[in-house]
């Protein structure tokens, strides 16, 4: 069995940055074990399998529509091509104030005595958002050592499935003005740190829009790879996230 496969770095225009994902094109349905074997072989945080919904669908034929709709296990994902990247259409999830005493042990285990300015929780995504003090800058967040190993054991309620650390953008920043920064950790699902996370920004976009009073924002995820997102909140309660993409590998998988 020979399958076309690609590795694409998303939310960046530069190879070896952003969020790497393997994309495998399927002419026929594979067994679930095959999906898992291929994903383990790719050893990336995401491996996507795209198959035809109709026998007449054609991977080679050029798409004449500006928008593609993917039917995924998490629901429909719409993507459209822009002049300077790809725009993804996501839901927007609200956050609610979280009592520090309920999550204090988890936060302290992760970031020690780092100063915290705000704590929010997203029940829709089960993500805990921790805003660091405005006294810190981007370099602090980038170099902060986060201990993710004990977190699943500390949170025994099952409420938390992801930890977002975020920081307000720096006033007067000239080189690349960002409205906010973030890092994302999900050891609960076997992902110590994600390079760039669209789902985390469905929560971050809601939070920072309220904090900053803005509908249009630029964000940077401060992982080792780093990634940029242009965010636009829509009137229908959803959010558009635009980012670049770099194809770094194209080949054939023999399975």
Q: Where does the pLDDT of residue 176 fall: very low under 50, low under 70, confident under 90, or very high at 90 and above?
A: low
**Confidence tier at 175 by pLDDT (50, 70, 90):** low
Highest mean pLDDT among 48-62, 175-189, 222-236: 222-236
| Dihedral sign (CA 48, 53, 58, 63) | negative
Burial of 162 (0-12, 13-18, 19+ CB in 10 A): buried
- pLDDT bin (cut points 50, 70, 90) of residue 173 is low
Per-residue pLDDT at 184: 98
**Rounded distance between C-alpha atoms, residue 39 and residue 48, angstroms:** 8
Instruction: Give the residue-averaged pLDDT of 160-182.
Output: 87
In which band, very low, low, confident or very high, does the pLDDT at 130 lie, cut at 50, 70 and 90? very high
In the structure encoding, which two tokens stand for residue 23, read together? 């994309």
Cβ pair 130, 104 in contact under 8 A: no
* β-pair type (46-51, 19-26): parallel
Catalytic residue among 32, 46, 170, 173: 46
Residues 6+ apart with CB under 8 A from 249: 5, 6, 7
| Average pLDDT rounded to a whole number, residues 154-170 | 91
* pLDDT at residue 59, as a whole number: 73
Closest CA to 182 of 170, 196, 172: 196
Percent of the chain with pLDDT strictly greater than 70: 95
pLDDT tens across 192-205, in order?
999 999 999 999 99
CA–CA–CA angle 195, 193, 205 (5° rounding) = 65
Cβ-proximal residues to 233 (8 Å cutoff; 6+ apart), any chain: 92, 205, 209, 215, 216, 239
46 catalytic residue (yes or no):
yes
The model carries a pTM of 0.91
Q: Does residue 97 sit in helix, strand or coil? A: strand
pLDDT at 66 over 80: no
* Domains with residue ranges and CATH for the chain: 2-71+244-254 (3.10.310.10), 96-241 (3.10.310.10)
- Per-residue pLDDT band for 158 (boundaries 50, 70, 90) equals confident
- Which has more pLDDT, 175 or 215? 215
3-state SS assignment for residue 18: coil
Residues in contact with 229: Cβ distance below 8 Å, sequence separation at least 6, in sequence order: 11, 196, 198, 201, 218, 219, 220, 221, 241, 242, 243
The rounded mean pLDDT for the chain is 92
Interval 50-55 mean pLDDT? 80
């Amino acid at each position: 069995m020979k399958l076309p496969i690609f590795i694409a770095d998303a939310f960046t225009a530069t190879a070896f940055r952003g969020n790497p994902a393997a994309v495998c094109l399927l002419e026929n349905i594979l067994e679930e074990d095959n999906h898992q074997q291929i994903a383990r072989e790719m050893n990336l945080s995401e491996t996507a399998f795209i198959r035809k919904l109709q026998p007449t669908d054609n991977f080679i034929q050029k798409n004449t529509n500006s928008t593609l709709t993917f039917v995924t296990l998490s629901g429909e994902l719409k993507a459209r091509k822009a002049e300077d990247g790809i725009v993804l259409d996501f839901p927007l999830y609200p956050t609610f104030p979280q009592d520090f005493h309920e999550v204090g042990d988890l936060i302290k285990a992760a970031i020690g005595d780092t100063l915290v300015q705000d704590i929010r929780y997203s029940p829709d995504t089960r993500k805990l958002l921790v805003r660091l003090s405005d006294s810190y800058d981007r370099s602090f967040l980038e170099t902060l050592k986060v201990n993710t190993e004990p977190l699943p054991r500390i949170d025994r309620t099952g409420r938390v499935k992801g930890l977002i650390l975020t920081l307000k953008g720096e006033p007067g920043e000239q080189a690349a003005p960002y409205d906010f920064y973030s890092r994302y950790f999900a050891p609960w699902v076997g992902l110590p740190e994600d390079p760039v996370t669209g789902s985390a920004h469905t929560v971050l976009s809601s939070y920072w829009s309220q904090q900053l009073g803005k509908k249009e924002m630029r964000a940077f995820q401060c992982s080792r790879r780093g990634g940029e997102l242009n965010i636009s909140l829509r009137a229908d309660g959803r959010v558009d996230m635009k980012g670049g993409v770099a194809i770094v590998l194209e080949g054939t998988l023999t399975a």
